[in-house]
C-alpha cells in the first residue's frame, strides 16, 4: 500500500478584520502560500497533479474557482488544474483529504492542498445574503424536505454553540477561562517563535494580529450574544483573513524530487451529526477515527480542534477525555483567528511544527463545520 506524505506546510500570518491582509486580493493571498510551498520544497510546479483549495462564500474575488485563479496568479503552468472545495469551516482540511485520497489511490503523485479566505472583503454568509435578491431568505427556507425533517428551527452557528453550552452545562465562567487560556497560549507561542517556521510573511506583515491581553474581568463585562445566553464575542473565533497550503506527495514523488517528508497521513475521515446543534460533530468524528485506527486518545500527542466557540472544545473534552494540556497548546481560533476556508491547513501547519518541536508522534486535527459535519485527520511525524 502506498503512502501520502506531508512534505511542507505554510501559512500567512492571520490578519484580523480590516487588518494587515484586508486589502489583499484572495487570489494573491492564495498565490502567496502556493509560491512559498513550491519554492521551499524545490519541486517543478509542472509536476503538480492538482491544486485543491478550500474557500467559503465563493463570490467576488473568491468566485470562479479560486484554487485555479490562485495557481495562475502565482505564475505557474496553465496545464495544472485546480478545484475549490466548500465543506464550510473544514474546507481546506477536506482539501487535504481529497489530495491524500488521490495519492493513496495511485491517481496522483503531487498535490498542493490549501485554502484562502478574506473575510474583510467578503463577510461571512455573503453568499446567503446575495441569495436574498433571488428570493432565498436562508439556504433552507422553502425546502419541503428540510421543513418536514427540521421544521423552522434556527440554523446558525451561534444557536448551535448555545445549545452545546446548555446540553453539556458549560458555565459562562468556564467558557471565558478557556478563551483567556487561548490568548495566553497564543501570545506565548508568538513570543517564543513557535510559528516562525510555518509563517510566510506578506510584505512587512509577519505576525498574527488576533492575540491580545485580556482578563476574566474584561470578558465578564461583555454583553451576551442572546438574552439569557452564555456566549459573548470573547468566547467566539475571530473574523480573519489568511491563506495556507501543504504539499502532499507519494513515495514516487518523494524519490523523483529528492524530497524529505515531515509526516505521513495516518488516517482521514469525516462524520456528521445534528445540523441544528451544528458544531458537535467533532465528538462522533473523533470516536470514529480512533475506532478505525485502533488508537486511544492517550496515544495522541497533540490535538488541534478548531475553536469556533469555546463550548465546542469543552464539550469535546468532556466526551473524549483528552488531556487539556495536549489540546490547542499554542492557542486556537479564539485568539489566532478563523479564516474559514484557510483554517484547515493553517491548523495542519501548526500541528506539524508542534509535533516536531516537542518530539510527539501522533497529532489529531478536527474541525466543526456548517451543516453538522466534522473532519478528522491523524498525522504521524516522521
- In degrees rounded to 5, what are phi and psi of residue 268? -145, 135
Report the pLDDT averaged over residues 136-144: 93
Q: Would the pLDDT of 354 be above 80?
A: yes
245 in Cβ contact with 34 (< 8 Å): yes
- In the residue annotation, 55 being an active-site residue is answered as no
CB 115 within 8 A of CB 343: yes
Q: Active-site residue 89, yes or no? A: yes
Whose cell is 509536476? That residue is: 47
Q: What structural domains does the chain harbor?
A: 3-122+237-255 (3.40.47.10)
Q: Residue 283: pLDDT above 90?
A: yes
Asked whether 201 and 36 are in contact (CB, 8 A), the reply is: no
pLDDT at 280 over 90: yes
What pLDDT was estimated at residue 291? Answer: 98
Q: What is the rounded average pLDDT of the residues 165-174?
A: 98
pLDDT digits 0-9 by tens, 221-241: 999 999 999 999 999 999 999
User: Rounded distance, CA 216 to CA 219, Å?
Assistant: 5
Confidence band, pLDDT 50/70/90 cuts, at residue 1: low
Q: Between the CA of residue 60 and those of 30, 47, 160, 235, what are the distances in Å?
A: 15, 30, 28, 30
Looking at residue 220, its pLDDT comes to 96
Region 255-272: mean pLDDT is 98
Q: How confident is the model at residue 328 (pLDDT cuts 50, 70, 90)?
A: very high
pLDDT above 90 covers what percent of the chain? Answer: 99
Q: Which of 159, 266, 267, 338 is catalytic?
A: 338
As given in the structure block, the three cell numbers for residue 121 are: 472583503
pLDDT above 80 for 304: yes
Residue among 89, 159, 183, 267 flagged as catalytic: 89
Which pLDDT tens digit goes with each residue over 101-132? 999 999 999 999 999 999 999 999 999 999 99
pLDDT at 277 > cutoff 90: yes
Tell me the three cell numbers of residue 203: 510584505
Amino acid at each position: 500500500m502506498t503512502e501520502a506524505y506531508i512534505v511542507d506546510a505554510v501559512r500567512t500570518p492571520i490578519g484580523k478584520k480590516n487588518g494587515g491582509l484586508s486589502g489583499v486580493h484572495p487570489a494573491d493571498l492564495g498565490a502567496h502560500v502556493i509560491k512559498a510551498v513550491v519554492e521551499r520544497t524545490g519541486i517543478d510546479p509542472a509536476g503538480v497533479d492538482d491544486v485543491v483549495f478550500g474557500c467559503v462564500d465563493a463570490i467576488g474575488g473568491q468566485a470562479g474557482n479560486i484554487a485555479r485563479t490562485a495557481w495562475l496568479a502565482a505564475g505557474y503552468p496553465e496545464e495544472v488544474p485546480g478545484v475549490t472545495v466548500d465543506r464550510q469551516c473544514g474546507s481546506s482540511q477536506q482539501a487535504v483529504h481529497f489530495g491524500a485520497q488521490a495519492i493513496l489511490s495511485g491517481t496522483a503523485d503531487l498535490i498542493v492542498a490549501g485554502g484562502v479566505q478574506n473575510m474583510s472583503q467578503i463577510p461571512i454568509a455573503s453568499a446567503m445574503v446575495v441569495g436574498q435578491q433571488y428570493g432565498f431568505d436562508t439556504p433552507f427556507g422553502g425546502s419541503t424536505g428540510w421543513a418536514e425533517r427540521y421544521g423552522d428551527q434556527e440554523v446558525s452557528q451561534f444557536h448551535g454553540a448555545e445549545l452545546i453550552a446548555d446540553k453539556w452545562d458549560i458555565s459562562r465562567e468556564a467558557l471565558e477561562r478557556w478563551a483567556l487560556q487561548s490568548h495566553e497560549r497564543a501570545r506565548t507561542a508568538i513570543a517564543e517563535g513557535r510559528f516562525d517556521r510555518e509563517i510566510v510573511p506578506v510584505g512587512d506583515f509577519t505576525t498574527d494580529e488576533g492575540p491580545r491581553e485580556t482578563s476574566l474581568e474584561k470578558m465578564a463585562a461583555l454583553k451576551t450574544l442572546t438574552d439569557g445566553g452564555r456566549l459573548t464575542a470573547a468566547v467566539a473565533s475571530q473574523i480573519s483573513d489568511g491563506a495556507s497550503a501543504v504539499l502532499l506527495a507519494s513515495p514516487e514523488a518523494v524519490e523523483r524530487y529528492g524530497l524529505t517528508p515531515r509526516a505521513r497521513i495516518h488516517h482521514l475521515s469525516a462524520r456528521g451529526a445534528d445540523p441544528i446543534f451544528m458544531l458537535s460533530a467533532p465528538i462522533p468524528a473523533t470516536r470514529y477515527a480512533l475506532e478505525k485506527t485502533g488508537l486511544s486518545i492517550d496515544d495522541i500527542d497533540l490535538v488541534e480542534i478548531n475553536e469556533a466557540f469555546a463550548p465546542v472544545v469543552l464539550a469535546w473534552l468532556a466526551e473524549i477525555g483528552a488531556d487539556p494540556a495536549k489540546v490547542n497548546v499554542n492557542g486556537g481560533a479564539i485568539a489566532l483567528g478563523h479564516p474559514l476556508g484557510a483554517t484547515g491547513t493553517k491548523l495542519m501547519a501548526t500541528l506539524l511544527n508542534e509535533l516536531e518541536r516537542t518530539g510527539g508522534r501522533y497529532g489529531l486535527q478536527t474541525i466543526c463545520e456548517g451543516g453538522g459535519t466534522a473532519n478528522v485527520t491523524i498525522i504521524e511525524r516522521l
